[in-house]
Amino acid sequence: MAAVDPDELPKKKMTHEMGQDLALLSVGELTERITLLKDEIVRLEAEMKRKQASKSAADTFFKR
């Protein structure tokens, strides 16, 4: 039976749960989480702007 190389195993996608205990995370893991969350904030803000623009266009179109 062949041994499994840990480097060849699929890596788990990093997730963050709000309120999660952070005591067991290393500084590197915390840095990765911060980057992940900042990227998500940018994505959410872009979607919010897109929706605001769509709403504004609809409001302008339906004004009398």
Structure tokens at 31: 């840095």
- To the question of pTM greater than 0.75 for the whole model, the response is no
Q: What average pLDDT does this structure show over 12-19?
A: 82
Residue of higher predicted confidence among 47 and 14: 47
Structure tokens at 52: 């605001």
CB-CB neighbours of 32 under 10 Å: 14
pLDDT tens per residue across span 18-56: 899 999 999 999 999 999 999 999 999 999 999 999 999
How is 3-61 classified by DSSP, letter by letter?
PPPGGGSPPPPP---TT---TT--HHHHHHHHHHHHHHHHHHHHHHHHHHHHHHHHHHH
